[in-house]
């Protein structure tokens, strides 16, 4: 789980962004977003798992294994090497929207990605990691309708169904990023929530409760009566709460504000966090703070966790632990 | 130690519990160390029942599930005009009860006002038991001088539900005066009690003579109190903020709660300081300007200026009551200040100005009422008679007569026990029955008074109008029980009724509520093994924490992540059980953690932990 705060927000946003690209078939962008997320929190399992799964999936769809044994080796994920130690670009021989019926032509390389994005940087479309032109055609061209837009990892007959871009720009199908079996792409043109639900399930499977929660909130905003979404939402909330509370420690502890009142103004808080902070007086226990703050338990736990992490509040006996955490951050 | 008795000031806003300890009246601090306990009950969003300071601190953000000022609803009938006038001002939901009484919706349950008051009383009882280290059951509880029988009975019922034997209900001003006069030789004098609490203002003139306290006149404003002063400060803070940022903080529950807390704090500080700084960082935020902070300086002078009309209202009530009682300020022996708001220097100045004397400083304004109740309790329990406290009828008693009028039979402030009678005649020819409607109140119009009970006197002999004399006799016992009899003077035919003013709850309901409360108290009591288990669990947490770096290395050296993840999950569960005081579950978690710890230590010893 990421550290709460701005970094964590960015991290989650990147994960979601990657997921969004991934579902829309924009694999390059997806991998880039996850790379960035990974660089933000190199120890975070979620980012690593996303990337690993994505690369495995890409690799799995790169054509008959027998034809490309060497290529498979070059596509082996290099995770979890820390970003600073990772070699620069081995490349991913994969082109997201290359039509199968169009012979690949060499195209100019894309603009150089930022330095920190080099770990998983992509080779030019149509060129594999070793500079070889890729052959994407895995089935006879005649079997594909002329205007079909195929992705190289799509191997089912449903890929032949023409999808109009304007009507389906959000519906390129859901991918399982951790299932070894290729998943058929679902047509979800008229219901984005199916895609979100699938994403939420995947995130939940990866223990990315906050990511799943965001998607579930979007689903529930559209379908307030969706029972499964409600159940998953509850599950995510309770898991996240548990995670935050395990960081907070004993609920009977009475936190106190650890910084002078005139320094509070320099913190980066929202009004809800400001409210929670105002209730902390060294006499009220964490458990009582939940009761008097009137926020959802998860929100209170998240804010308390943030305040503890940032050393804004302390619990007697935990001062050293807070200092240690602050030292690690610095 | 002899039998224990406590005195309770069950206030509209705050309550205090006291006792006579070692011969001295003493306030019992609550378990948080404070001498005042807010009379607030809430059902927090997490389902926890909150009473006192915690309930008050979330009163704004959780207004619909927080019961404040339940005292205003005690012993009220749903159909009464006063009740219907009060309801719109309450933030919580009140519905009609089964006996024309009230029920308060709190969470998914409904409670009568005595049950809510009982929650406050239970808290005070637990505080007292923590103070004494043994059970407490006897109590004297105070109520306003103007409380009628139903309201007093409701207070008594609240005590019963809380598991208390309420040995006496006494008037608040009487109680304050008792505290004032305790241990001092008493000359005959009139004393005024100026009681400005959090939500109500009461002014009472008492006659004290050789230990006898009699209420001569009482009046007040039930919608004037310290909270009105706080509201003025809140407005003073919120209006300029709104002008500057376009945000009305009073409409944001969280911001309003902070404003309220800050306003009260500032008001209290201004009783001793000339200026206070009010700082509320991150009170709001806008897209454009980001977080917004509120920082202002309030002077005592400004506070006095903006609350001048409130102070004037208090003084007007004093003048009215004194005029009614035909008492001149010069006749008063003392003016006692009661209620925290009387600490405001401006109020003390005005009292000094109106009464031409320095108000008494011998009484702690917050504690006087509870101390007096404790003194009375001690005297009753130990049969000390040096200060006899007489109960008086707070309102006039009588019956409804022809034309919709009210005939008083016992005047208000009559000391009890007492008896009085009045002879009435029939109003129709050949009238064979008469309905006796017993009322309480001061209005000449029967409908404006409180109905205590009614019965029929039948079997009257046939006679022309005015030919039958009916003697109506009122008896009030020392316990305040009113008996009304009607006798046909000529034939001796008699009917009677015993008016036991009801709080709105039946005996069965009271018993049931008392049992439910007892269950709740048992539920609150911790499993005796919990503390030991908690200590053990915390030791294990520390041990795991110390071992974690080695475990991480062991995981990399072949142990794998799985045992660590399982240990982490077990630790999280155990931490939650500690927080939620799940004693039984914690015991199993401790076993599990101990087994895991043993196995993990073994793995490290086998060399999986890598270099030390």
3-state SS of B14-41 is EEEEEEEECCEEEECCCCCCCCCEECCE
Domain B397-492 architecture: Sandwich (2.60)
pLDDT at A17 over 50: yes
One DSSP character per residue, A260-329 reads -HHHHTTS---HHHHHHHHH--SSS-HHHHHHHH-S-HHHHHHHHHHHHHTTSEE-TT-HHHHHHHHHHH
Q: Are residues A206 and A256 in the same domain?
A: no
Give chain B's radius of gyration (CA, Å).
Answer: 30
Residues B121, B52: Cα–Cα separation, whole Å:
10
Q: Using the beta-carbon criterion (under 8 Å), do B572 and A249 form an inter-chain contact?
A: no
* Model-level ipTM above the cut of 0.85: no
Whose CA is closest to B289, among B344, B246, B343?
B246
Residues ≥6 apart with Cβ < 8 Å to B451: B437, B438, B439
- Evaluate whether B376 touches B140 at the Cβ level (below 8 Å): yes
Q: Which residue has the higher pLDDT, A88 or B133?
A: B133
Q: Which residue has the higher pLDDT, A153 or B105?
A: B105
pLDDT one-digit tens code per residue, B351-370: 999 999 999 877 789 999 99
CA angle B441, B445, B447 (to 5 degrees): 75
Residues A184, A190: Cα–Cα separation, whole Å:
17
pLDDT of residue B85: 83
Q: Can you give the pTM of this predicted structure?
A: 0.67
Q: How confident is the model at residue B211 (pLDDT cuts 50, 70, 90)?
A: low
Shortest distance between the Cα of A261 and any Cα of chain B, in A, equals 9
A250 and chain B in contact, CB less than 8 A: yes
Closest A-chain CA to B579: A251
pLDDT at B231 over 90: yes
In total, how many domains does chain A have? 3
Which residue of A80, A255, A285, A292 to mutate against B (max B Cβ within 10 Å)? A292
> Does the residue A196 lie in any domain?
yes
Count other Cβ atoms within 10 Å, centred on residue B444.
Answer: 12
CATH number for position A257 = 1.10.10
Q: Using the beta-carbon criterion (under 8 Å), do B575 and A245 form an inter-chain contact?
A: yes
A279 and chain B in contact, CB less than 8 A: yes
Residues A300, A241: Cα–Cα separation, whole Å:
9
Q: Which residue has the higher pLDDT, A40 or A25?
A: A40
- Evaluate whether B452 touches B438 at the Cβ level (below 8 Å): yes
Shortest distance between the Cα of B46 and any Cα of chain A, in A, equals 6
Which residues of A are less than 8 Å from B249 in CB distance? none
CA angle A283, A288, A291 (to 5 degrees): 145
Residues B471, B423: Cα–Cα separation, whole Å:
4
Residues A95, A122: Cα–Cα separation, whole Å:
10
Residue B141 forms beta bridges with which residues?
A: B8, B169
Shortest distance between the Cα of B452 and any Cα of chain A, in A, equals 41
Percent of chain B with pLDDT over 70: 93
Residue B564, burial from CB neighbour count under 10 angstroms (0-12, 13-18, 19+): middle
Among A309-323, B90-104, B154-168, B351-365, which is the least confidently predicted range? A309-323
pLDDT of residue A71: 37
Shortest distance between the Cα of A330 and any Cα of chain B, in A, equals 20
Q: Are residues A117 and A258 in the same domain?
A: no
pLDDT one-digit tens code per residue, B449-489: 888 888 888 888 888 998 899 999 999 876 667 889 989 88
Q: Are residues A265 and A219 in the same domain?
A: no
Q: Using the beta-carbon criterion (under 8 Å), do B48 and A283 form an inter-chain contact?
A: no
pLDDT of residue A56: 63
Q: Are residues A23 and A36 in the same domain?
A: yes
* Closest in A242, A250, A251 to B572, CB measured: A242
Q: How far from the centroid of its chain's Cα atoms is residue B316's Cα?
A: 26
- What is the set of active-site residues of B? 9, 71, 172, 195
pLDDT one-digit tens code per residue, A50-89: 777 666 666 555 444 333 333 333 333 333 333 333 333 3
- Evaluate whether B174 touches B43 at the Cβ level (below 8 Å): no
pLDDT one-digit tens code per residue, B402-426: 889 999 999 877 777 899 999 999 9
Q: Using the beta-carbon criterion (under 8 Å), do A264 and B261 form an inter-chain contact?
A: no
pLDDT one-digit tens code per residue, A222-233: 889 999 999 999
Closest B-chain CA to A247: B572
pLDDT mean across residues, chain A: 62
Residues B312, B117: Cα–Cα separation, whole Å:
32
Query: What is the rounded end-to-end Cα distance, in angstroms, of chain A?
Result: 19
pLDDT mean across residues, chain B: 88
Pick the last residue of a domain from A164, A185, A206.
A185
B398: helix, coil or strand?
strand
pLDDT of residue A172: 33
Q: Are residues A64 and A4 in the same domain?
A: yes
pLDDT at B177 over 70: yes
Average pLDDT over residues B178-187: 70
Which residues of A are less than 8 Å from B568 in CB distance? 246
Average pLDDT over residues B1-12: 89
Q: Which residue has the higher pLDDT, A11 or B377?
A: B377
Closest B-chain CA to A274: B282
* Closest in A277, A278, A291 to B46, CB measured: A291
Closest B-chain CA to A249: B575
Pick the last residue of a domain from A210, A228, A245.
A245
> Does the residue A264 lie in any domain?
yes
Structure tokens at B281: 């960082």
Q: Are residues A124 and A233 in the same domain?
A: no
Q: Using the beta-carbon criterion (under 8 Å), do A271 and B257 form an inter-chain contact?
A: no
Residue holding tokens 């061209």? A141
One DSSP character per residue, A103-137 reads PP---PPPPPPPGGGGGGPPPPTTB-TTSPBP---
> Does the residue A310 lie in any domain?
yes
Which residues of A are less than 8 Å from B284 in CB distance? 271
Q: Are residues A241 and A303 in the same domain?
A: no
pLDDT at A182 over 70: no
Q: Are residues A204 and A179 in the same domain?
A: no
Which residue of A242, A265, A270, A271 to mutate against B (max B Cβ within 10 Å)? A271
A261 and chain B in contact, CB less than 8 A: yes
Average pLDDT over residues B557-569: 82
Count other Cβ atoms within 10 Å, centred on residue B492.
Answer: 7
A293 and chain B in contact, CB less than 8 A: yes
Kindly list the residues of chain B whose beta carbon comes within 8 Å of any beta carbon in chain A.
32, 44-46, 48, 50, 54, 57-58, 61-62, 252-255, 257-258, 261, 279-285, 291, 293, 538, 568, 571-572, 575-576, 578-580
Shortest distance between the Cα of A300 and any Cα of chain B, in A, equals 12
> Does the residue A14 lie in any domain?
yes
Average pLDDT over residues B500-528: 79
Among A90-94, B479-483, B539-543, which is the least confidently predicted range? A90-94
Domain around A278: 249-329
pLDDT at B90 over 50: yes
Q: Are residues A124 and A31 in the same domain?
A: yes
Q: Which residue has the higher pLDDT, B493 or B29?
A: B29
A249 and chain B in contact, CB less than 8 A: yes
pLDDT of residue A175: 32
> Does the residue A18 lie in any domain?
yes
pLDDT of residue B390: 64
pLDDT of residue B172: 92
> Does the residue A139 lie in any domain?
no
Shortest distance between the Cα of B132 and any Cα of chain A, in A, equals 23
Q: Which residue has the higher pLDDT, A145 or B479?
A: B479
Q: Which residue has the higher pLDDT, A318 or B134?
A: B134
The domains of chain B are located at 1-163+504-525, 226-308, 397-492, 530-608
- Evaluate whether B13 touches B227 at the Cβ level (below 8 Å): yes
Among A242-251, B165-174, B327-336, which is the least confidently predicted range? A242-251
Q: Using the beta-carbon criterion (under 8 Å), do B281 and A249 form an inter-chain contact?
A: no
> Does the residue A288 lie in any domain?
yes
Percent of chain B with pLDDT over 90: 44
Q: What is the CATH number of domain B226-308?
A: 3.90.640.10
Q: What share of chain B is helix, strand, coil (3-state, %, to 5)?
A: 40, 25, 30
pLDDT at B219 over 70: yes
Average pLDDT over residues B501-517: 83
> Does the residue A256 lie in any domain?
yes
Q: Using the beta-carbon criterion (under 8 Å), do B571 and A250 form an inter-chain contact?
A: no
Q: Are residues A264 and A123 in the same domain?
A: no
Among A40-44, A276-280, A321-325, B322-326, which is the least confidently predicted range? A321-325
Among B26-30, B207-211, B447-451, B545-549, which is the least confidently predicted range? B207-211
Q: Are residues A199 and A63 in the same domain?
A: no
Domain B1-163+504-525 has CATH 1.10.150.120: no
Percent of chain A with pLDDT over 90: 15
* Closest in B62, B279, B578 to A294, CB measured: B62
Q: Are residues A53 and A2 in the same domain?
A: yes
A45 and chain B in contact, CB less than 8 A: no
Residues B488, B491: Cα–Cα separation, whole Å:
6
Average pLDDT over residues B4-24: 94
- Range among A93-97, B116-120, B127-131, B480-484 rated most confident: B116-120
* Closest in A270, A283, A291 to B50, CB measured: A291
Average pLDDT over residues B36-65: 89
Beta pairing class for B434-440 and B450-457: antiparallel
pLDDT one-digit tens code per residue, B246-293: 999 999 999 999 999 999 999 999 999 999 999 999 999 988 888 999
Whose CA is closest to B340, among B535, B195, B135?
B195
Q: Using the beta-carbon criterion (under 8 Å), do A277 and B282 form an inter-chain contact?
A: yes
Residues B159, A288: Cα–Cα separation, whole Å:
27
pLDDT at A329 over 50: no
Q: Using the beta-carbon criterion (under 8 Å), do A250 and B578 form an inter-chain contact?
A: yes
Structure tokens at B226: 């310290």
pLDDT one-digit tens code per residue, A197-217: 988 998 888 888 888 999 999
pLDDT at B226 over 60: yes
A294 and chain B in contact, CB less than 8 A: yes
Q: Which residue has the higher pLDDT, A190 or B218?
A: B218
Shortest distance between the Cα of A258 and any Cα of chain B, in A, equals 16
């Amino acid at each position: 789980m990421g550290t709460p705060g701005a970094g964590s927000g960015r991290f989650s946003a990147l994960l979601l962004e990657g997921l969004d690209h991934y579902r829309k078939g924009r694999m390059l962008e997806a991998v880039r977003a996850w790379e960035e997320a990974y660089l933000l929190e190199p120890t975070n399992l979620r980012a690593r798992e996303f990337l690993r799964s994505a690369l495995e999936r890409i690799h799995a769809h790169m054509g008959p294994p027998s034809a490309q044994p060497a290529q498979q080796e070059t596509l082996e994920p290099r995770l979890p090497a820390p970003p600073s130690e990772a070699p620069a670009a081995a490349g991913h021989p994969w082109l997201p929207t290359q039509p199968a019926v169009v012979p690949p032509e060499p195209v100019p390389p894309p603009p150089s990605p930022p330095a920190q994005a080099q770990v998983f940087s992509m080779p030019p479309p149509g060129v594999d990691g070793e500079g070889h032109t890729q052959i994407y055609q895995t089935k006879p061209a005649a079997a594909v309708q002329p205007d079909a837009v195929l992705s190289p990892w799509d191997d089912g007959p449903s890929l032949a169904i023409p999808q109009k871009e304007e009507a389906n720009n959000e519906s390129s199908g859901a991918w399982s990023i951790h299932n070894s079996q290729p998943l058929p792409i679902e047509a979800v043109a008229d219901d984005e929530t199916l895609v979100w639900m699938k994403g939420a399930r995947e995130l939940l499977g990866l223990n990315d409760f906050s990511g799943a929660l965001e998607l579930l909130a979007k689903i529930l905003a559209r379908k307030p009566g969706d029972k499964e979404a409600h159940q998953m939402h509850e599950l995510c909330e309770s898991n996240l709460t548990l995670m935050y509370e395990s960081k907070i420690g004993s609920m009977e502890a009475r936190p106190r504000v650890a910084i002078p009142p005139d320094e509070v103004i320099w913190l980066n808080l929202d009004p809800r966090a400001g409210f929670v902070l105002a209730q902390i007086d060294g006499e009220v226990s964490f458990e009582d703070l939940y009761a008097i703050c009137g926020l959802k338990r998860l929100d209170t736990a998240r804010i308390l966790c943030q305040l503890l992490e940032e050393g804004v509040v302390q619990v007697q006996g935990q001062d050293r632990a807070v200092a240690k955490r602050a030292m690690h951050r610095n | 130690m002899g039998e224990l008795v406590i005195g309770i000031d069950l206030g509209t806003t705050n309550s205090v519990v006291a006792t006579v300890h070692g011969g001295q009246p003493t306030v019992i601090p609550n378990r948080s160390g404070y001498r005042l306990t807010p009379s607030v009950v809430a059902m927090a969003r997490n389902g926890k029942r909150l009473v006192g300071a915690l309930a008050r601190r979330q009163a704004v953000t959780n207004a619909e599930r927080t019961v404040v000022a339940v005292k205003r609803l005690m012993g009220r009938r749903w159909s009464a005009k006063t009740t219907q006038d009060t309801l719109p001002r309450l933030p919580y939901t009140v519905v009609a009860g089964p006996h024309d009484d009230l029920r308060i919706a709190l969470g998914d349950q409904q409670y009568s006002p005595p049950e809510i008051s009982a929650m406050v009383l239970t808290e005070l009882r637990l505080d007292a038991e923590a103070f004494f280290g043994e059970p407490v059951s006897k109590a004297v509880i105070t109520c306003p001088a103007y409380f009628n029988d139903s309201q007093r009975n409701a207070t008594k019922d609240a005590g019963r539900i809380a598991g208390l034997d309420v040995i006496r209900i006494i008037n608040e001003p009487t109680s304050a005066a008792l505290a004032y006069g305790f241990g001092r030789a008493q000359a005959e004098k009139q004393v005024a009690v100026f009681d400005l609490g959090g939500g109500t203002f009461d002014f009472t003139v008492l006659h004290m003579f050789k230990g006898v306290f009699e209420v001569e006149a009482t009046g007040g404003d039930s919608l004037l109190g310290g909270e009105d002063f706080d509201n003025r400060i809140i407005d003073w803070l919120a209006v300029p903020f709104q002008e500057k940022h376009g945000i009305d903080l009073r409409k944001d529950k969280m911001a309003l709660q902070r404003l309220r807390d800050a306003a009260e704090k500032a008001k209290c500080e201004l009783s001793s300081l000339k200026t206070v700084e009010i700082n509320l960082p991150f009170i709001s935020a806008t897209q454009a300007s980001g977080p917004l902070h509120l920082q202002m300086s309030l002077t005592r002078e400004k506070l006095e200026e903006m609350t001048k009309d409130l102070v004037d209202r208090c003084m007007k009530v004093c003048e009215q009551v004194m005029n009614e009682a035909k008492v001149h300020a010069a006749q008063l022996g003392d003016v006692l200040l009661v209620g925290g708001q009387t600490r405001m220097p401006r109020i003390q100045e005005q009292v000094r100005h109106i009464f031409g004397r320095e108000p008494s400083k011998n009484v702690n304004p917050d504690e006087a009422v509870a101390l007096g109740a404790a003194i009375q309790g001690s005297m009753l329990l130990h049969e000390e008679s040096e200060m006899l406290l007489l109960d008086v009828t707070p309102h006039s008693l009588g019956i409804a007569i022809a034309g919709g009028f009210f005939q008083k039979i016992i005047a208000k402030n009559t000391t009890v026990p007492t008896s009085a009678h009045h002879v009435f005649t029939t109003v129709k020819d050949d009238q064979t029955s008469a309905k006796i409607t017993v009322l309480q109140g001061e209005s000449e119009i029967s409908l404006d008074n409180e109905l205590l009970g009614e019965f029929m006197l039948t079997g009257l002999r046939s006679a022309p109008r005015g030919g039958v004399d009916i003697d109506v006799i009122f008896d009030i016992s020392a316990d305040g029980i009113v008996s009304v009899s009607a006798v046909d003077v000529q034939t001796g035919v008699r009917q009677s009724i015993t008016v036991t003013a009801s709080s709105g709850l039946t005996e069965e309901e009271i018993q049931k509520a008392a049992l439910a409360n007892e269950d709740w108290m048992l539920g609150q009591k911790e499993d005796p093994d919990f503390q030991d288990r908690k200590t053990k669990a915390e030791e294990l947490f520390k041990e795991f924490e110390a071992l974690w770096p080695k475990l991480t290395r062991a995981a990399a050296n072949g142990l794998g992540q799985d045992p660590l993840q399982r240990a982490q999950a077990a630790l999280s569960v155990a931490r939650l059980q500690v927080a939620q005081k799940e004693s039984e579950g914690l015991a199993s978690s401790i076993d599990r953690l101990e087994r895991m710890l043993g196995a993990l230590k073994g793995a490290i010893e086998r060399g999986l932990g890598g270099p030390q």
